[in-house]
Amino acid sequence: MSSEKGKNEKASPYPLAARGAKEDTKVAARGAVFGAERLAIIAGPCAVETEEQVLTVAGRVQAAGATALRGGAYKPRSSPYSFQGLEEKGLEILARVREKTGLPIVTEIMDARAIPHFLKHDIDVLQVGARNMQNFTLLKELGALRKPVLLKRGMGSSVTELLQAAEYVLHGGNEDVILCERGISTFEKSTRATLDISAIPVLKKETHLPIIVDPSHAAGRPDIIPALARAAVAAGADGLIVEVHHDPSHALCDGAQALLPDAFAAMMDDVRRVAAAVGREA
């Protein structure tokens, strides 16, 4: 009977990522665990600018309950004339701030040729940005590593395509994939992107992989980020990634959507209450 049923079932487009493939995946990156009862909260500036800047923001977000530090050293910018990131020097700064704070580092990789730099500085979580979600050669290279990968959903990609992209990394033998909903392109112009809240419960049904939400790039404005963060946690997200800057008007990237440290701390107080209501901690 079961083999008959097997014949009639359509093969999954993402057999390794599919919910039935294994127990819920927990991804550990130093102190942070993604997919545990306690939410993983990544916070920090959009881009690494100086060591003082990263250290200042890191101290503030850590005090407010962040469990990991973000900061882009390689930045995917729409214009080649915009700040492109400090590149390897940025990774060095992140590693030094990790030494001082103990916070694990999450930072974007855009090109497989930079992998040796990420390994040299023992970067804890390699972020694949929305624009590279279907960079299949990069995904294959990351599949060969044994380092956690944070895979952001492309702004024009479906949930199925996100899971197929994750499948590339899993297929290479790297089981530590974290998914991220960061808003999709729609006709709506009041926000930078439209946060697809539905993606969270849909992904929870479809996959065993942890899923976090980026309310910053979805909103593109700081005032509504706390509401999106609360909604994400209420909908079952395993964590958040949020942009915070102590001096947004002088930020070299995405200052217009940066939360001030105090606003982040207030957001965390509310997130903690929502987390408790859904059986989680933050």
Query: What residue ranges bind ligand PEP (CB under 6 A)?
Result: 46, 72, 76, 129-131, 152, 182, 214, 217
Binds 246, which of ligand PEP, Mn ion, none (CB < 5 to 8 A, cut-off by type)? Answer: none
C-beta separation of 134 from 156 below 8 A? no
Toward ligand PEP, which CB reaches closer, 33 or 241? 241
CB-closest chain residue to Mn ion:
46
Min. distance of Cβ 216 from ligand PEP in angstroms? 8
Binds 181, which of ligand PEP, Mn ion, none (CB < 5 to 8 A, cut-off by type)? Answer: none
For position 251 contacting Mn ion by CB under 5 A, the verdict is: no
Q: How would you label 49-84 residue by residue, b for 16+ Cβ within 10 Å and e otherwise?
A: bebebbbbbbbbbbebbbbbbbbbbbbeeeeeeeeb
* Binding to Mn ion, residues 253-282 (CB under 5 A): 254
Binds 165, which of Mn ion, ligand PEP, none (CB < 5 to 8 A, cut-off by type)? Answer: none
Distance between CA atoms of 39 and 249, rounded to whole angstroms? Answer: 30
Q: What is the DSSP letter of 208?
A: S
* Binding to Mn ion, residues 20-59 (CB under 5 A): 46
**Residue 152, H or E segment:** strand 149-152
Min. distance of Cβ 157 from ligand PEP in angstroms? 11
- Could you give the string, one character per residue 210-239, with x where binding to Mn ion holds by CB under 5 A and - elsewhere? ------------------------------
Tokens in use for 43? 């916070």
Alpha helices in 207-245 (DSSP H): 215-219, 225-234
CB-closest chain residue to ligand PEP:
129
φ/ψ of residue 5, rounded to 5: -60, -45
Tokens in use for 203? 């992904």
Toward ligand PEP, which CB reaches closer, 16 or 109? 109
Binds 90, which of ligand PEP, Mn ion, none (CB < 5 to 8 A, cut-off by type)? Answer: none
Q: Which residue has the tokens 């209420």?
A: 234
Toward Mn ion, which CB reaches closer, 211 or 253? 253
Min. distance of Cβ 270 from Mn ion in angstroms? 22
Other CB atoms within 10 A of residue 38 CB: 14
Toward ligand PEP, which CB reaches closer, 16 or 48? 48
Min. distance of Cβ 127 from ligand PEP in angstroms? 6
φ/ψ of residue 33, rounded to 5: -125, 130
Distance between CA atoms of 192 and 269, rounded to whole angstroms? Answer: 25
Toward Mn ion, which CB reaches closer, 108 or 141? 108
**Residue 162, H or E segment:** helix 159-171
Alpha helices in the chain (DSSP H): 2-8, 51-63, 88-101, 115-120, 136-143, 159-171, 199-206, 215-219, 225-234, 261-277
Binds 212, which of Mn ion, ligand PEP, none (CB < 5 to 8 A, cut-off by type)? Answer: none
Interface with Mn ion (CB under 5 A): 46, 254
